[in-house]
Chain A
Amino acid sequence: MELRTPLYETHEKYGGKIVPFAGYLLPVQYSGVIAEHMAVRKDAGLFDVSHMGEVILSGKDSLANLNMLLTNDFTDMADGQARYSPMCNEQGGVVDDLIVYKVKDECYFIVVNASNRHKDVAWMKDHIQGEVTLEDISDSVAQLALQGPKAKAIMSKLLKEEEIPQKNYTFIPKVMINGMECLLSFTGYTGEDGYEIYTAPENAAAMWELLMENGKDEGLIPCGLGARDTLRLEAAMPLYGHEMNDDVTPVEAGLGFFVKMNKADFIGKAGIEGREQKIKRVGLKVTGRGIIREHCDLYAGDKKIGMVSSGTHCPMVGMAVGMGLIEKEYAQIGDTLEADVRGRRIQVEIIKLPFYKKGEVLVK
């Protein structure tokens, strides 16, 4: 039985094509994946991401627990900052990746992947120590994402400058948008500037309509999960279950920057230290005819050296690209590999990530 987000009726009203995803019924598209993708790159798009999980960690020992549970370092964080981090198991594999928002000392708001919510909460509860409380508030939080170069212009119609977070990975914990209380953050998963709006489920539909109304002149359109995936792939943002999983370390997944090995200790540190990093995340460009998809095996000559973790045709770069996890010694930029696409071998070239960054296509 799939759950409905508070925006289910809204999606039907706007002609969303509904599919089951991570236990929820969500729109995979409205007008079409390509049109939605391009709207976010050029103007703005609105997404329902209410399926995401939200957790509050509070109490005197919150910071110590965050630094033990997660690979990033939260010590120097200011109130109103957000920080991305993998969360590892003892062996150094990734339990999930998440974002920590520091509301104030001893109070953190954590956003986790929908499909990992129950696993994460159980894992965190098993590993927290001391004076700390963990509360899963997912069911009382709706989340909308307003993304794209026009997002700021749209938000500026609803809020004063000082009510809008101005820097990437910052947020304001309590903002009133047309009488609706929300947490507003300058974050997203599309490779564009934009906002994520966390509010009570009963506000979700009114918030959606308000944003759509105010975004009309800026070209704002509703976007589904399909565009969310092509956008994050084009920007080379990793997705749990694709670029990382319980057996892949964050270092192998190309997330070494978010692993602070100089911290005193954290779960997975010994695992990462004690293990040879054998695989590497790479960018792939299809040079033959076809499209690579996740799970396609990758070959160097006759030797299977890894597989495609995500892949599709990306609209802004206008070609088939993907990411792969391959044996490290084969990860040479410019080298050619072959992907097995349903029994057919097609050529791919190893290229630099990302494929696209803020207005600029980087893959030629």
Chain B
Amino acid sequence: MNIPSELKFTRSHEWLKDLGNGTFEIGISDFAQHELGDLVFVNLPQEGDAITADEPFADVESVKAVSDIYSPVSATVTEINEEVLDAPESINSNAYEAWFVRVENVTETAELLSAEEYEAFLNEEA
């Protein structure tokens, strides 16, 4: 299982990447994309939207089902990734490159796991 050590994870399988200068990127883990199957549609918030820790901020659809994506932080969306809107399958091919949104003004953080903790969590679940 691919779990980059520089990322933080939620128990609902999102990742958070610190880009420095108070900017963060959010996406979903390799485990999540594998569980969801072929993704065919992504719904993202808009730039300027406020998102809330532990609450859904986006959804993804596979051929079979729709799933909510939960935010690891409370923050303001500064950028959305148009590429995942146009090509949702890029999430399946590289979940850690295919970020969903970039955020700033983080005011609150959900309970986050380190890469090792997330790996242990996945092993428990399996």
Contact = CB atoms under 8 A, between A and B. Distances in A.
A290 B66 CA distance: 11
B41 A226 contact: no
B40 A226 contact: no
Given A32-B37, A33-B37, A230 B66 contact: no
Interface stretch (B57-65, B71-79, B105-113): B57-65
Judged by DSSP, the binding face of A is mixed
Contact of A291 (B37, B38, B40): B40
A34 B89 CA distance: 11
Given A33-B38, A290-B43, A313 B66 contact: no
A232 interface: no
Judged by DSSP, the binding face of B is strand
B126 to A, nearest CB: 13
A141 interface: no
Contacts of B63: 33-34, 37, 226, 230, 312-313, 315
A55 interface: no
A292 to B, nearest CB: 10
B64 A291 contact: no
Nearest to B35: A17
Nearest to A312: B63
A289 B86 CA distance: 11
Contacts of A320: 40-41
Contacts of B40: 34, 291, 313, 320
Contact of B41 (A32, A34, A230, A290): A290
Interface residues of A, number: 19
Contacts of A289: 41, 43
Contacts of A32: 37-38
Nearest to B40: A313
A321 to B, nearest CB: 12
A28 interface: yes
Interface string A225-241: 01001100000000000
B43 A312 contact: no
A320 B39 CA distance: 12
B86 to A, nearest CB: 11
The CB with the most chain A CB atoms within 10 A, among B38, B59, B61, B66, is that of B38
Contacts of B38: 32-35
A2 to B, nearest CB: 18
A293 interface: yes
B41 A33 contact: no
A45 to B, nearest CB: 15
Given A33-B63, A226-B37, A312-B63, 13 more contacts: A32-B37, A226-B63, A226-B64, A230-B63, A289-B43, A290-B41, A290-B61, A291-B40, A291-B66, A312-B64, A313-B41, A315-B63, A320-B40
Interface of A: 28-29, 32-35, 37, 226, 229-230, 289-291, 293, 312-313, 315, 320, 342
8 contacts: A28-B64, A33-B37, A33-B63, A34-B40, A226-B37, A293-B66, A313-B41, A320-B40
Closest 7 CB pairs of A and B: A313-B40, A33-B63, A34-B38, A291-B61, A32-B38, A291-B41, A33-B38
